[in-house]
Structure 1
Amino acid sequence: MKNYVSFLLVLLSITTQSQISGNRIYESNSTSHYGSSKNSFKNTISINDNLLTVSIKVLLNNKADFFTLVLGTNEEAETVSECNTILNKRINGFTHDLHNMNIKKEDIYVDFISQTKVYDYNIAATKANEYQKGYEIKKNIIISSRNLAEIERIITLASKYAIYDVIKVDYYNDDIMNIHSNLFEEAMKIAKHKKDLYIKTFKKKIIGTPNASEDFLIFFPQSQYKKYQAFESAEIETYYRNLSQNQNFIKKLARKNTTFFYDGIDTHDFDKVINMAKSEVGIQYALTLTVSYKIDTSL
């Protein structure tokens, strides 16, 4: 029968938390984040027969090097030519002002999305006849920038030309391979520390070369936002029909504010988090490394 020993190396950390929870408490507590589990701590060392296996998790909160902003715009007119002329006039005025902001021509691209017919109805007496009203053309304007503050100025400038649809903002880093290498080195340092602690404590010896496997994941901001509403509603029972006047009533609910917040990866079960207190939203890199060492059982 195989002897199996498993123990947990716990690095003692004392954390104090204030009692300010924020309106997020109105949100459902169910999550699907990577590695998230209530009160979880999964960094273990396991020994099975003559094999020592060490698991390490490292997280990096990293600032983006550049951004890609996608703005959507459209125009309706009776003819395709008129539609395109009006839309291009708006786009050309916008891109001209972008050049004045020192945004290079090669950092701006106009993407033709669609050209469709637009229909409406003529209502006469009890009949509603459908007819072709004109055409609609949609185009996206894609802009790259290395300055996050510049993105907000671009969005404000776009409104001058009736361009209001902010489709998305993508975040990028220049050298992902270098980021991976740095995280791998950090993980190997922690693996060595855990292995050395075991050997010193139990008077064991490692033989041969270790085997390793890894999982490298990248989390971009657009997938890390959650929606929530915070409000209290009164409950009331009433009738919505006035029987004496044979009249129905429409119940109109008050508007409740809906917003979104950035909710990054849960860091509880990571051995090391680089840039833990970084407040700026960026890109998160998670490396999970599993290293196996062969133990000399002759001792």
Structure 2
Amino acid sequence: MKIKMYLLLVMLSTLASAQIKGNAPTISRQNVMSSTYLANPQSYGNAITNFRQQPLVPNANITIDVKALNNVVADAYTAVFNMVQIGETSEQTNNLMTERVNKVKIELMAHGINDNDIVIDVISFVPAYETVVENKLFSKKYNEVPVGFELQQNIHVKFTKVNQFEKILSACANNEIYNLVKVDYFINDIKAVYTTLRMEILKALQEKQQFYKDMGFDLSLYKPMIADTKYCYFPKEFYKNYQAFNCISLEAIKKSKGVLTAKEQTAYYYEPLSFKEYDVVLNPAIVEPVIQVGMEIKLQYIEKQKSEQPKEKEVIKNRFFMVSDEGNINITELKLEQ
């Protein structure tokens, strides 16, 4: 009886395990459908097998490469907003725009932004036309007549702290300015950033060279070749978008009948460069969008031909010639004490 119960429990455990493994891939790990790519694995059951991107293949040549990345927090930012103002006359249009801009400046200065950091860029100032239909006895004429003016400007606001951006948005929204064009990021001393990266790359390169020497490779018997590059990426280049798999409608709660279609909202998020392939990463913990500055260097050592390898120097010991009174010459080597 005990043996039968034991076999029954083993069979039930096996079936339960198979059921769990069979259902695991259907458990969704994310609720997004990206238009660019899926950031996370789709299910818990999918095993990641390709840890290495390429298999290791022994080679007669030696390749040493170093990749360094620096996540630099910007020293200054510039937000650009677009404004459009219309009016019946050019004077009225210009006065209305000036009034809005002055209100924005007053509110921004109250939040600690200097007047010199607010710049107005005039884009266009053109008359607006409407088509008027003129009916005649045997024909119709469509004439364009001026009905007003349209003034378009961009307002550039420079700030140095990220938390100031929320106050800038609020000041613009209070004056009916909603069109945020872009936000630019700036580094005051980019040369110092590259200098730091070169020093870090040199340290990592020397460590790798020493590693090969410790394994018995004489790099002086190889002819070196070099290639290097550098790059700088800004946050606006790394914003991705996605749409949720499931959408909800709050109006469906209030109605007992009928079908309501929920709008699929497109969301955006910041996806910086992953540092999994880098040897050196400065400021790896990213809290806010940063400027990513990178440098890469690759050294390839090609084994020299025998004719190119340095020849061993032949050491010739000093010889002394002794001439006797009879004229005989004796060649001998004298050991001199050092």
Same fold (TM over 0.5): yes
Letter of the 2:99 partner, please give it: K
Amino acid at match of 1:281: P
For 2:207, the aligned partner's letter is H
Deviations 1:129-167 (A, max 9, x none): 554321100111111111111111011011121111111
Q: 1:225-244 alignment to 2 at 5 Å?
A: 225-232=239-246
Match of 2:104, SS state, is helix
TM-aligned CA deviation for residue 254 of structure 1 = 3.9
Could you say which residue in structure 1 is the equivalent of 2:81?
Answer: 71
Measured at CA, do residues 162 and 213 of structure 1 come closer, stay the same or move farther in structure 2, by a change above 3 Å?
Answer: same
**TM-score with structure 2 setting the length:** 0.65
Paired with 1:82 and 1:123, the residues of 2 have a C-alpha distance of 27
User: What SS class does the counterpart of residue 67 from structure 1 fall into?
Assistant: strand
2: CA distance, partners of 1:135 / 1:40? 63
Tell me the residue number matched to 2:153: 139
Matches within 5 A, 1:254-269: 254-269=262-277
Partner AA of 1:100 in structure 2: A
Residue 274 of structure 1: which of 279, 282, 288 is its match?
282
Mapped to 1, the partners of 2:119 and 2:36 lie a distance apart of 40
Task: Tell me the equivalent position of 2:210.
Answer: 196
Between the aligned partners of 2:197 and 2:74, the Cα distance in structure 1 is: 17
Equivalent pair of 1:206/1:294 in contact (CA under 8 Å): no
Match of 1:107 in 2: 117
Which of 109, 118, 125 is residue 128 of structure 2 equivalent to? 118
> Which of 219, 244, 248 pairs up with 2:233?
219
Q: Taking every aligned residue pair, what percent have the same amino acid on both sides?
A: 25
RMSD of equivalent CA atoms:
3.6
Give the Å deviation of 1:114. 0.6
Matched residues in 2 for 1:220 and 1:137: separation?
31
Shift in Å, 1:265 = 1.4
Equivalents in 1 of 2:224, 2:192: separation in Å? 23
**How far apart are 1:232 and its partner, in Å?**
4.2
Pairing 1:290–2:298 present: yes
**Given the superposition, is the C-alpha separation of residues 46 and 163 from structure 1 closer, same or farther in structure 2, using an over 3 Å criterion?**
farther
Query: How far does the alpha carbon of each residue in 1:98-128 deviate from its partner, in whole angstroms, 9 at most, with x for none?
Result: 2222322221111111112223356899x89
- Amino acid paired to 2:182: K
TM-score (norm 1): 0.73
* Rounded Cα–Cα distance in structure 2 between residues aligned with 1:154 and 1:27: 31
Distance 1:21 1:66 in 2: 38
Contact persistence 1:72–1:167 (CA under 8 A): yes
Corresponding position of 1:206: 220
1:260, distance to aligned residue in structure 2 (A) = 0.8
Provide the C-alpha distance between the structure 2 equivalents of 1:122 and 1:98, rounded to a whole number of angstroms. Answer: 43
Number of residue pairs matched by the alignment: 256
Give 2:177's aligned residue. Answer: 163
Determine the C-alpha separation between the residues in 1 that align with 2:58 and 2:115.
Answer: 57
Which structure 1 residue ranges, 5 or more long, are not aligned? 1-18, 32-37, 234-251
Shift of 1:95: 1.0
CA contact (8 A) 1:219 1:285 kept: yes
Contact kept? 1:58, 1:272, Cα under 8 Å: yes
Amino acid at match of 1:258: T
Relative to structure 1, the CA distance from residue 20 to residue 255 in structure 2 (aligned partners, 3 Å threshold; closer, same or farther) is: closer
Shift of 1:253: 5.8
d(CA) in 2 for partners of 1:93 and 1:136?
A: 20
Which 5+ residue runs of structure 2 have no aligned equivalent?
Answer: 1-26, 40-49, 248-259, 311-338
